[in-house]
């Protein structure tokens, strides 16, 4: 058998996972999120959004973006509460989709935050240099002025790279101070705008026409300013450094969104009503200044001190956002280095500061390069583009993790109305990304180019060097059948005791499907969590023996393959193998006991619900001859597969299959004979093999259990209800399976469309 990936040191993994200091409070991480959002969103966004969508459009742009951002924030909150670890979207994708997707998530996250940092450095430079020029302190124009602005952007970016180098506590404290300052000043501006409108209601005329360029322009402005709502991403990066992260990370994400949306709408309103007597419609006048339109509008609102107030606010807002984005981008690249997706140097921590200084150095290089060489509008659009890509992926992750791993996670927050919020976010974000081309075609060059470069790096570097994580499915030993034939059966073996009975029942399916049937056996090795994978051989002996037992019984007649794997969750390992090996049928055993909180057990329940193929679960099926088989019948999607299984398991010489329907008093009975007349020819078995039987009873379960006493085997279709509903309301097939004392087979037929979606999503 081929061996799995190379050994890994448990000690090294322990070092890397515990080196950050945990000292960021709820206030600090909330302010980091707010600081990352209130950066360029107001100062660059208002002027450009007004120019494209009009006065009402800028208000709706921020309000609608907040709703969309809240959908994605809930995805981040749920995943961060379950996976509180530095890396954010990288960690979510690693667990949900594996190494390749996780690398792309971390790669996009690194660039998105870095480009956003460049945007905030540019915002600081534009407004600060502009104000100093008005005061006469800086006397420059044309190309020389551009050089001064670029120089200021480089200096402020370098300063905050140094602040991040100093440590997480300094980063959090500095961010909190600057963010509180900006929030107070922006709130003051909003209140002045409201007070001015109350004193002079005629200023509301500035909102006419409300949407001069039509509703479709909102898609452009929403895509352009969406970068202003990405603060929850930096909060997710603080999983290793936040106090009580399972509770505080979700709280900080929701709080930050609420704080920011009221701030944005308030100051955008103040900017619109602040303009008066300029000889043209207010929105056209503001839009003519582009990214500086907000500052000019507030100078009109407060002629005496508007400019200085805006400049102070810009200094607070852009620098706090710059601080947060550098922190976030650094943690993303650190996570890639920690798991060897990027060179090991990215995971180096300063021996004294405990900060990832090499990751910080490369992040600083991206921030400064983008701020220096890209025009402002393209910097903003490129940042929004990357965040749209990233958030699209995170919303897919929350759906997949909830579907595949809900029983493995400890959640501190569970979003309401799942899965509607992430699905809505996915659809809207895809639309915004497409429409963003109207604002900046360069963004659709920069973003995809970065993604394609990441694919190349992963393919030729990261794929071979990536470190295992505890959530991965690891192939320990494998001897697979190379190519898929007409029909493949996957048999899940837990121990030698059930190997031969399952092999015997598998043999019957093989006889029915023909000599071209292929059989692969899987054993999930039960390695304790505290034991390194390098010692897997100590726990694999029982599995190897079970595989040999099955091989001796099945290999002489049919193509035979085997795989031994490890996964923290056995059910997920089996489901993954069934999908990967493209199995048509999964056969597994069940001992009849169940774990609290499950209908049948922590392994059987998820397999029945999520497997992408037909499933047959055998309970106490050790005898070889089944003369009389009972099928409790209530219709449904599994009925035909139950009949097929019964026709395979029954003795062909003298055996009989009774299809038993129990109806409640006063309710109509289902005509099983009509169903049998239709199905028997499809199964290519004699109609005489099946018999119909009916009963009327208030106690269906008791009646079926009493009837089952006279049969050798009971075959029943599993419920289609999700596991959660089964736990709350119960399900007759699962209850029957637990209480039936006769040998029993529970079957579930694959749903073609659902199976396709599960395989790929």
User: How far is Cα 651 from Cα 657, in angstroms, rounded to an integer?
Assistant: 10
Q: Which residues contact 139 (CB under 8 A, 6 or more apart)?
A: 133
Q: Is residue 676 part of a domain?
A: yes
Confidence of residue 726 (pLDDT cuts 50, 70, 90): very low
Q: Give the residue, 408 or 417, on which the prediction is more confident.
A: 417
Of 102-116, 196-210, 741-755, the range with the lowest mean pLDDT is 741-755
> Tens of pLDDT along 13-45?
333 333 556 778 898 888 888 877 776 567 777
Predicted confidence (pLDDT) at residue 144 exceeds the cutoff of 90 = no
Q: Do 435 and 537 reside in the same domain of the chain?
A: no
In the predicted model, is pLDDT for residue 755 greater than 50? no
Reply yes or no on whether the pLDDT at 727 is more than 80.
Answer: no
- In terms of domains, do 295 and 433 share one? yes
Helix (H, G, I), strand (E, B) or coil at 520: strand
pLDDT at 207: 92
The answer on pLDDT for 197 being more than 90 is yes
Which residues touch 589 (CB under 8 Å, ≥6 apart)?
492, 493, 494, 498, 501, 502, 617, 618, 619
Whether 411 and 548 map to the same domain: the answer is no
* 637 DSSP 8-state letter: T
- As a whole number, the mean pLDDT across the chain is 84
Pairing of strands 614-619, 744-748: antiparallel
Structurally, how many domains does the chain consist of?
A: 3
Distance set, CA 331 to CA 21, 102, 172, 216, 637 (Å):
14, 14, 14, 37, 48
CATH code at position 571: 3.40.50.620
| In-domain check, residue 605 | no
Question: Is 10 contained in some domain?
Answer: no
Distances (CA, A) of 653 to 626, 685, 689: 10, 13, 10
| Residue 363, φ and ψ in degrees, nearest 5 | -60, -45
Task: Name the helix (H) or strand (E) containing 494.
Answer: none
- As a whole number, mean pLDDT of residues 190-215 equals 92
**Pair of tokens at residue 80:** 């961060």
Full residue range of the structural domain in which residue 735 is found = 623-745
Both 538 and 448 in one domain: the answer is no
Quick one: pLDDT at residue 41?
Answer: 62
pLDDT in tens, 371-381: 888 776 777 77
Examine the domain organization and report whether 525 and 390 are in the same domain.
no
DSSP character string of 261-273:
HHHHHHHHHHHHH
Map tokens 């292929």 to a residue: 518
Give the CATH number, domain containing residue 195: 1.20.1740.10
Distance (Å, rounded) from C-alpha 106 to C-alpha 114? 12
- pLDDT, residue 39, reads 61
With a pLDDT cut of 90, the percent of the chain lying above it is: 33
In this predicted model, what pLDDT tens digit does every residue of 225-272 receive, in sequence order? 877 787 787 788 787 778 888 899 999 999 999 998 998 899 899 999
**Residues 438, 504 within the same domain:** no
| C-alpha span between 645 and 202 (Å, rounded) | 79
The reply to whether 32 and 149 lie within a common domain is yes
760 occurs within a structural domain = no
**Residue 269: which of 67, 46, 69, 41 has the closest Cα?**
46
Listed residues 589, 615, 649: the one ending a domain: 589
**Which range among 249-258, 474-483, 485-494 shows the weakest confidence by mean pLDDT?**
474-483
61-118 pLDDT per residue, tens? 999 989 988 999 999 999 999 888 777 788 898 888 888 898 999 999 898 888 888 8
Closest CA to 35 of 305, 242, 303, 234: 234
Of 466, 522, 569, 342, give the one whose Cα is nearest residue 6: 466
Lowest mean pLDDT among 626-630, 697-701, 720-724: 720-724
> In this predicted structure, what is the pLDDT of residue 415?
92
Of the pLDDT bands very low, low, confident and very high (cuts 50, 70, 90), residue 689 is: very high
- List the one residue out of 718, 716, 708, 720 whose CA is nearest residue 745: 716
The last residue of one of the domains, among 438, 465, 492, is 465
Residues 208 and 321 in one domain: yes
| Same domain for 477 and 461 | no
Assigned token pair, 379: 């910097």
Q: How far apart are CA 313 and CA 319, in angstroms?
A: 10
Same-domain pairing of 426 and 543:
no
Last residue of one domain, picked from the residues 539, 568, 589 = 589
Determine the distance from the C-alpha atom of residue 39 to the mean position of all C-alpha atoms in its chain, rounded to a whole number: 26
Distances (CA, A) of 340 to 15, 45, 98, 280: 14, 38, 14, 58
Helix axes 26-37, 168-199, angle to 10 degrees: 60
The mean pLDDT of 594-623, rounded to a whole number, is 82
User: Does residue 613 fall inside a structural domain?
Assistant: no
Q: Is residue 384 part of a domain?
A: yes
- The residue that leads in pLDDT, 141 or 509, is 509
Contact 40, 387 (CB under 8 A): no
Provide, rounded to the nearest whole percent, the portion of the chain with pLDDT above 70. 90
Quick one: 158 and 287 in the same domain?
Answer: yes
Distance of CA 563 to the CA centre of its chain: 28
Q: Is residue 608 assigned to a domain?
A: no
Q: Residues 120, 45: one domain? A: yes
Is a pLDDT exceeding 80 seen at residue 624? no
State pTM to two decimals. 0.70
Q: Say what angle helices 376-405 and 420-435 make with each other, to 10 degrees.
A: 150
Question: Mean pLDDT across the stretch 484-488?
Answer: 90
The number of CA neighbours under 13 Å toward the Cβ of 128 is: 22
- Indicate whether 5 belongs to any domain: no
């Amino acid at each position: 058998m081929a061996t799995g990936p190379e050994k890994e040191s448990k000690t090294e993994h322990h070092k890397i996972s515990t080196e950050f200091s945990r000292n960021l409070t709820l206030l600090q991480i909330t302010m980091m999120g707010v600081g990352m959002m209130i950066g360029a969103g107001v100062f660059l966004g208002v002027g450009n959004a007004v120019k494209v969508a009009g006065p009402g459009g800028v208000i709706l742009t921020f309000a609608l973006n907040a709703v969309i951002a809240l959908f994605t924030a809930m995805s981040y909150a749920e995943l961060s509460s379950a996976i509180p670890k530095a890396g954010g979207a990288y960690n979510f994708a690693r667990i949900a989709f594996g190494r390749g997707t996780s690398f792309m998530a971390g790669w996009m996250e690194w660039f998105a935050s870095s480009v956003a940092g460049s945007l905030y450095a540019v915002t600081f430079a534009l407004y600060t240099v502009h104000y100093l020029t008005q005061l006469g302190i800086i006397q420059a124009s044309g190309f020389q002025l551009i050089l001064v602005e670029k120089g200021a952007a480089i200096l402020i970016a370098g300063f905050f790279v140094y602040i991040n180098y100093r440590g997480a506590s300094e980063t959090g404290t500095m961010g909190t101070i600057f963010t509180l300052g900006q929030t107070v000043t922006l709130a003051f501006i909003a209140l002045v705008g409201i007070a001015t409108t109350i004193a002079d209601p005629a200023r509301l005329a500035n909102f006419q026409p409300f949407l001069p360029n039509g509703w479709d322009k909102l898609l452009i402005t929403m895509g352009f300013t969406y970068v202003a709502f990405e603060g929850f991403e930096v909060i997710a990066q603080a999983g290793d450094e936040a106090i009580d992260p399972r509770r505080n990370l979700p709280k900080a994400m929701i709080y930050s969104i609420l704080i920011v949306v009221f701030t944005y709408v308030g100051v955008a309103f103040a900017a619109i009503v602040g303009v008066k007597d300029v000889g043209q419609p207010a929105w056209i006048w503001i839009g003519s200044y582009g990214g500086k339109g907000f500052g000019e509008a507030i100078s009109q609102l407060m002629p005496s001190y508007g400019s200085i107030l805006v400049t102070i606010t810009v200094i607070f807002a852009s620098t706090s956002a710059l601080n947060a984005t550098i922190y976030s981008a650094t943690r993303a690249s650190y996570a890639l280095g920690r798991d060897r997706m990027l060179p090991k140097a990215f995971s180096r921590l300063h021996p004294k500061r405990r900060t990832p200084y090499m990751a910080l150095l490369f992040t600083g290089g991206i921030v400064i390069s983008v701020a220096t060489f890209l025009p402002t509008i393209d910097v903003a659009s490129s940042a929004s583009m990357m965040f749209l890509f990233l958030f699209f992926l995170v919303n897919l992750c929350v759906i997949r993790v909830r579907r595949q791993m809900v029983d493995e996670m400890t959640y501190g927050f569970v979003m309401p109305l799942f899965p509607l919020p992430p699905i809505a976010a996915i659809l809207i974000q895809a639309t915004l990304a497409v429409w963003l081309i109207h604002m900046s075609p360069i963004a659709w060059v920069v973003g995809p180019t970065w993604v394609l470069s990441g694919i190349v790096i992963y393919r030729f570097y990261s794929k071979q060097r990536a470190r295992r994580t505890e959530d991965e499915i690891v192939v320990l030993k494998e001897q697979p059948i190379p190519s898929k034939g007409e029909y493949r059966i996957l048999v899940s073996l837990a121990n030698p005791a059930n190997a031969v009975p399952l092999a015997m029942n598998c043999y019957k399916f093989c006889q029915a499907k023909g000599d071209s049937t292929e059989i692969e056996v899987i054993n999930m090795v039960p390695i304790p969590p505290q034991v390194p994978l390098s010692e897997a051989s100590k726990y694999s002996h029982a599995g190897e023996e079970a595989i040999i037992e099955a091989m001796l019984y099945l290999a002489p007649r049919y193509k035979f393959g085997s795989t031994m794997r490890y996964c923290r969750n056995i059910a997920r390992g089996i489901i993954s193998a069934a999908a990967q090996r493209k199995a048509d049928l999964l056969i597994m055993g069940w001992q009849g006991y169940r774990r609290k909180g499950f209908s049948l057990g922590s392994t059987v329940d998820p397999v029945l619900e999520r497997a992408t193929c037909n499933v047959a679960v055998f309970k106490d099926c050790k005898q070889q001859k089944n003369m009389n088989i009972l099928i409790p019948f209530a219709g449904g999607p599994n009925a035909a597969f139950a009949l097929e299984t019964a026709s395979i398991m029954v003795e062909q010489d003298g055996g009989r299959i009774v299809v038993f329907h129990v109806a409640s008093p006063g309710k109509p009975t289902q005509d099983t004979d009509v169903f049998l007349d239709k199905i028997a020819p499809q199964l290519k078995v004699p109609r005489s093999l099946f018999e119909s039987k009916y009963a009327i009873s208030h106690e269906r379960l008791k009646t079926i259990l009493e009837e089952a006493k006279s049969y050798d085997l009971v075959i029943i279709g599993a419920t289609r209800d999700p596991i959660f509903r089964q736990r709350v309301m119960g399900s007759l097939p699962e209850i029957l399976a637990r209480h039936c004392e006769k040998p029993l087979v529970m079957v579930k037929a694959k749903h073609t469309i659902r199976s396709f979606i599960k395989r790929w999503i």
